[in-house]
Structure 1
Amino acid sequence: MSLEELRRRVDELDDNIVELLAERLSIAEAIGREKAAGEVPPQDLGRERLVIEHVTGAAAARGMTADEVTELYRSIIKLARQRQARSVAFQGEAGAYSEQAAFQYFGSRAAVKACESLEGVFKEVESGTVQFGIIPMENSIEGSISRSYDLMLESSLMVSGELHLRVNHCLIGNPDATLDSIRRVYSHPQALGQCGHFLRQMGFELIPTYDTAGSVKLIKEKCIMDGAAIASERAAVIYGMKILARDIQDNPNNFTRFFAIGRKDAPPSGDDKTSLVFAVKHRPGALYEFLRILAEHKINLTKIESRPTRKKAWEYNFYLDFEGHRQDENFRAALPALEEHVLFIKILGSYPKAK
């Protein structure tokens, strides 16, 4: 075959590939509707792993290597997941880090709904107005977001996924502002705390608000010329504001951990985590016995912390994460023994580990 004939054959094959890809995405949309009807979490990493294994096996039968198809199919799977559009509630205004987390986890086609409070996110999901919520749980610098943990305890919703989002803070002012003209800085208390060194160095007055992006919106709408906000670069673009300084967080390894929440948790993927909350009986060694049982059943903890019960002074609940799924045999075998040492135990959900 001549060069022109070969190229013509490539064009024909590309037409076929595009046609098949369009059909695959159409099926992905149908799968998304079925998942939505059953309130199934959007990510099923176990199924995605089987797809990769299937195509790499098919590739090997045709003389291709796994590497030659794996990355391609990961992109196709990502594209297919984005076609399975979800409705998601988040706390904050457009441009908030929680909105960014929603798009990153659920895909760019997610229908997002802004809520003024974390309580609002839970109400939207519980009422069925949206399918899922995305909530911040802890920051690598400032620690846990206590209200999120309290709401998880109070709600019947479950954790279906987690996401680690890198946070890069910007100091944002009105278009005519300069760094020297700023006297006050507005933002969420977590963001103010994450930029403590920069803010102390500049000597700004700090004004806590309910949201990072909402702070940008505030100084714009009220024309606060001597005020700036700490928020994302995307928030500056959305509201047409000026970035006065970038990457002002104290630590470059600044991540926030988010939970995706819904009516169900996720099926086993083979690489999972489980979150739960419990309170031990008021007797010596009760917490030790609880942890000993986990160790005896080869259950590896990744986090444990205490939170006040908010019912009686100096009484605490314990929040715990471990590697594995609640359906795993070792946890199911451990559960009856664990229940002997607690006043209550509530599984918040099992979900694939964040990558």
Structure 2
Amino acid sequence: MRDLQDSRKEIDIIDEQIIRLFEKRMDICKDVAAYKLHTGKPVLDRKRELDKLKTLKAQASNKFYGHGVEELFEQIMSMSRKMQYKLLTEEGVNSDIGFDIVDDLPKEDVTVAYQGIPGAYSQQAATEYFGDKSSYVNVSTFREAMKYVRDGKADYAVLPFENSSAGIVTDVYDLLVEFHNYIVDTFDVKIEHCLCGIKGSKIEDIKDVYSHPQAFMQSNAFIEEHGWGKVNLANTAISARYISEQSDKSRGCIASANAAKIYGLDILHKGINFNATNTTKFIIISRNKIARRNADLICISFEMPHESGTLYQMLSHIIYNDLNMTRIESRPVPEKKWEYRFYVEFEGKSTQAGAINALSGINAESINMRILGNY
């Protein structure tokens, strides 16, 4: 049996040789990038890569080594592409992703759409963000809010994006792809759900509770403890208005203290959501492709070939450019069975070279990539 230290010394020598050969290969790839820059040829040539991998794999002495060779050279080719994207960006190719940089969003004399009616948390988010010198229009659905922005009926829309207890608002994610509007900022609202009833009612009177499904999820423990029936309505404030119109002590709702005040309800119990730090993140939507100067998050969506390892390949563009991914979500692609659209958020600016490199790579190697906002 060979001495362990002798084996390790030999491995060290081989590793040094691999490094030198790797660097030599990457240097030659710079010439490839120069050629592609001159001719306009795309960085990714998937057929060439697959043919090359097949040839290299066949040169291995056994099946196990063949799999290793294939994986090794897939990574080498991936790193080569990333370097080529970087070089092309440095030469001014794909260096502008089209965002106009602004110091801040105007918060006077603008029209803001939100889903729901007065008393909704969306209204609270909109008025707290834009203040009292803007105009507000309430609409029935998230889709309608998106249409108002797209069609110029509103300058901005304020939509719920994620709740710290109940997770993402899936409908909004889907609409971000359907409508070519952009996320331009986010705003957090602390959520405190209240059990509300008509004047003079008590908790003991309640048999059924009305609210939005998200509010039910966030207050589920409290509701189950009392064994009440649940009735879904489109909005917590709509629930408050409905209860105020019924004059029925057996019907309660989950809504905000502000909604209770607006619709003349008694608050029977405050803070029924199980998480005291319950917060909803709202997104500010614009039809204009703008980014605030201090924006530091980028959100994209994309689909991928239905092949092993493709998600890692997409995310590796973020990793390789020293960017920090802060969110990843997936949603089914309606027209493609068992295929998914991914939503990825990472730290970066639309003017940052590393972010542009990552976006260039993902755009070239994914399907239907869209930049949803820099905020």
**Could you tell me the TM-score, scaled by structure 2's length?**
0.71
Instruction: Give the residue type in structure 2 aligned to 1:92.
Output: G
Structure 1 contact 293–337 (Cα < 8 Å) conserved: yes
Describe the superposition over 1:81-138 as per-residue Cα deviations: whole angstroms up to 9, x where unpaired: 75x2321111111000000000111113331111111111111111211111000111
Q: Please name the residue that 1:235 is paired with.
A: 259
Q: Are residues 281 and 231 of structure 1, via their aligned partners in 2, closer, same or farther at CA, if it must alter by over 3 Å?
A: same
Matched, 1:327 2:331: no
Instruction: Give the residue type in structure 2 aligned to 1:318.
Output: F
- Structure 1 residue 241: Cα displacement: 1.1
Describe the superposition over 1:159-206 as per-residue Cα deviations: whole angstroms up to 9, x where unpaired: 111011110001111012111111110000000110011111111111
Q: Please name the residue that 1:251 is paired with.
A: 275
**Cα separation, 2, equivalents of 1:257 and 1:266:** 20
Q: CA RMSD in A?
A: 1.8
Instruction: Give the residue type in structure 2 aligned to 1:143.
Output: G
- Structure 1 residue 325: Cα displacement: 1.8
**Cα separation, 1, equivalents of 2:209 and 2:301:** 36
1:278 to 297, 302, 306: 302
Describe the superposition over 1:41-91 as per-residue Cα deviations: whole angstroms up to 9, x where unpaired: 99718xxxxxxxxxxxxxxxxxxxxxxxxxxxxxxxxxxx75x23211111
Matched residue SS, 1:337: helix
Matched residue SS, 1:314: coil
Matched, 1:219 2:243: yes
- Structure 1 residue 265: Cα displacement: 4.1
- Structure 1 residue 271: Cα displacement: 4.7
Describe the superposition over 1:193-220 as per-residue Cα deviations: whole angstroms up to 9, x where unpaired: 1001111111111111100000010111
Structure 1 contact 42–106 (Cα < 8 Å) conserved: no
Matched, 1:210 2:270: no
- Structure 1 residue 312: Cα displacement: 2.1
Report the structure number with the largest CA radius of gyration: 2
How many residue pairs are counted as aligned between the two chains? 276
Matched, 1:44 2:104: yes
Q: Are residues 296 and 145 of structure 1, via their aligned partners in 2, closer, same or farther at CA, if it must alter by over 3 Å?
A: same
Matched, 1:120 2:144: yes
Q: Are residues 44 and 274 of structure 1, via their aligned partners in 2, closer, same or farther at CA, if it must alter by over 3 Å?
A: same
Instruction: Give the residue type in structure 2 aligned to 1:183.
Output: K
**Cα separation, 2, equivalents of 1:257 and 1:195:** 18
Matched residue SS, 1:44: coil
Structure 1 contact 41–160 (Cα < 8 Å) conserved: no
Matched residue SS, 2:127: helix
Instruction: Give the residue type in structure 2 aligned to 1:222.
Output: Q
Q: How does 1:6-21 map to 2 (within 5 A)?
A: none
Q: Are residues 262 and 41 of structure 1, via their aligned partners in 2, closer, same or farther at CA, if it must alter by over 3 Å?
A: farther
Describe the superposition over 1:234-288 as per-residue Cα deviations: whole angstroms up to 9, x where unpaired: 0011111111110110100101111100112443433511111011122221111
Matched, 1:262 2:289: no
Q: Please name the residue that 1:65 is paired with.
A: none
**Could you tell me the TM-score, scaled by structure 1's length?**
0.74
- Structure 1 residue 335: Cα displacement: 2.6
Instruction: Give the residue type in structure 1 aligned to 2:322.
Output: K
Q: Are residues 233 and 42 of structure 1, via their aligned partners in 2, closer, same or farther at CA, if it must alter by over 3 Å?
A: farther
Q: Are residues 115 and 271 of structure 1, via their aligned partners in 2, closer, same or farther at CA, if it must alter by over 3 Å?
A: closer
Q: Please name the residue that 1:309 is paired with.
A: 333
Matched, 1:154 2:171: no
Structure 1 contact 85–107 (Cα < 8 Å) conserved: no
Instruction: Give the residue type in structure 1 aligned to 2:129.
Output: Y
**Cα separation, 1, equivalents of 2:155 and 2:298:** 21
Structure 1 contact 85–111 (Cα < 8 Å) conserved: yes
2:342 to 311, 318, 321: 318
**Cα separation, 2, equivalents of 1:327 and 1:295:** 18
Matched residue SS, 1:267: strand
Matched residue SS, 1:320: strand
- Structure 1 residue 324: Cα displacement: 1.4
Instruction: Give the residue type in structure 2 aligned to 1:196.
Output: N
- Structure 1 residue 339: Cα displacement: 2.5
After the TM superposition, which parts of structure 1 deviate over 3 Å for at least 4 consecutive aligned residues?
40-43
% same residue: 34
Structure 2 contact 291–373 (Cα < 8 Å) conserved: no
Q: Please name the residue that 2:57 is paired with.
A: none
Structure 1 contact 268–325 (Cα < 8 Å) conserved: no
Q: Are residues 226 and 172 of structure 1, via their aligned partners in 2, closer, same or farther at CA, if it must alter by over 3 Å?
A: same
